[in-house]
Amino acid sequence: MLTSFDIRLLNRVQKNFPVCHDPFALIADELAQPKQKVIERLAELKKEGFIRRLGGVLNHKKVGESSLAALKVPSQKLTQVSDMVSQFEEVNHNYLREHEYNLWFVVTAANQEKLEQVLSEIEATSKCALLVLPMLKDYYIDLAFEL
Amino acid sequence: MSSILNRVELEKRIIELTQAGLPIESRPFKTIADKLGISESAVVAIFDSMKQKGLVRRIGLVPNHYAIGYLFNLMTVWDIEDSDIDQVGKSIGELDFVSHCYQRPRHLPDWPYNFFAMIHGKTEQEANEKMQQIADLVKDSCSQFTALKSCKILKKTGLRI
């Protein structure tokens, strides 16, 4: 179970991780806790799966080309098609969703040509209707939100 | 000339090394620096500049929302009047329960929605209430909307390059 300290800690470290020699000392000061406690608890939260990772969240638009896409997969083919999609290393998210278009995934590639190649291959192999939904504009302030 | 090339190469190596995450220990940037054979100050400076340039959106932890109890993520999709999209996008982007929101193309007739907003809630009811808040906010510009509940995560990895 997460304690209220854990939530405070997670909220603090979600954004503006100090980029300096001793970032955890600064965070510990802000939270009025010993540095060792902050480090140990974060390491535990990582180990227990509450934290995916600590690091830079890359801006997809600047490091390669990516697109959200969706397939309309008949239920009897769902396992087969979803496995096929997940096997592409260019696919970094793959979700089942409740809709006629039921398989939703994100493809990221080094360039537009490679991106289109992966999408056509997925479309041809699955023989399912494909929606390609690249981001036209983003409007959110930050990925982090208050827990 | 060569220093510019080195810089780009270094940024790439730093991104690779931190892809799995910065180590959670006393001097996280020193660990990266040692692996690259450069100074800790240099790594700190490069990280800072990648942030300035917008290559890195932010630095921080990426929580596992499911594990923390946000079990209901709703991908909500909206059919917004094209002329209103900027104004609507900005107001939805400011809501604290929206983690991402984007304008995306329509594919008529199958897909009339041109705006996506990801909502997180601890219960299904909470997530639905939040969707209704958005619906109230955009009622003059929106002709239809729906939510696509996720039923299963099949694959989720950090962005690889």
| C-alpha to C-alpha distance for B9 and A138, rounded to whole angstroms | 28
What pLDDT score does A142 carry? 57
What pLDDT score does B2 carry? 42
- How far off is chain B from A127, nearest CA to CA, in Å? 17
Neighbours of A47 (CB within 10 A): 10
Average pLDDT, chain A: 90
- Return the bridge partners of B76, or none: B117, B147
What pLDDT score does B21 carry? 80
What pLDDT score does B79 carry? 98
Residue A84 neighbours by CB under 8 Å, 6+ apart = A122, A125, A126
What pLDDT score does B160 carry? 44
Q: Does A146 score more than 70 pLDDT?
A: no
Check if the beta carbon of residue B44 is closer than 8 Å to that of residue B90.
Answer: no
ipTM: 0.74
Extents of the domains making up chain A: 4-47, 60-133
DSSP state of B25: S
Q: Which residues of B touch A10 (CB under 8 A)?
A: 61, 63, 68
Cβ–Cβ gap B58/A101 under 8 Å: no
* Fold classified for A60-133: Alpha-Beta Plaits (3.30.70)
- Return the bridge partners of B102, or none: A138, B116
| C-alpha to C-alpha distance for A125 and A118, rounded to whole angstroms | 11
- Return the bridge partners of B152, or none: A96
What pLDDT score does B1 carry? 39
| C-alpha to C-alpha distance for B138 and B84, rounded to whole angstroms | 10
Check if the beta carbon of residue A70 is closer than 8 Å to that of residue A104.
Answer: yes
The C-alpha angle A146, A66, B44, rounded to 5 degrees, equals 60
Mark which residues 110-139 of B lie under 8 Å from A by CB.
110-111, 116, 120
List the single range of A73-77, A97-101, A143-147, B95-99 with lowest mean pLDDT: A143-147
Residue B52 neighbours by CB under 8 Å, 6+ apart = none
AA identity, residue A59: N
In degrees and rounded to multiples of 5, residue A129 shows phi and psi of -65, 135
Residue B83 neighbours by CB under 8 Å, 6+ apart = none
Q: What is the pLDDT along chain B (161 residues), one digit of tens a residue?
A: 345 557 778 888 888 787 778 899 999 999 999 999 999 999 999 988 888 888 887 788 888 887 888 878 889 999 999 999 999 999 999 888 888 899 999 999 999 999 999 998 888 899 999 999 999 999 999 999 999 987 777 777 654 43
Cβ–Cβ gap A137/B159 under 8 Å: no
What pLDDT score does B161 carry? 39
> What count of CB pairs under 8 Å joins A to B?
233
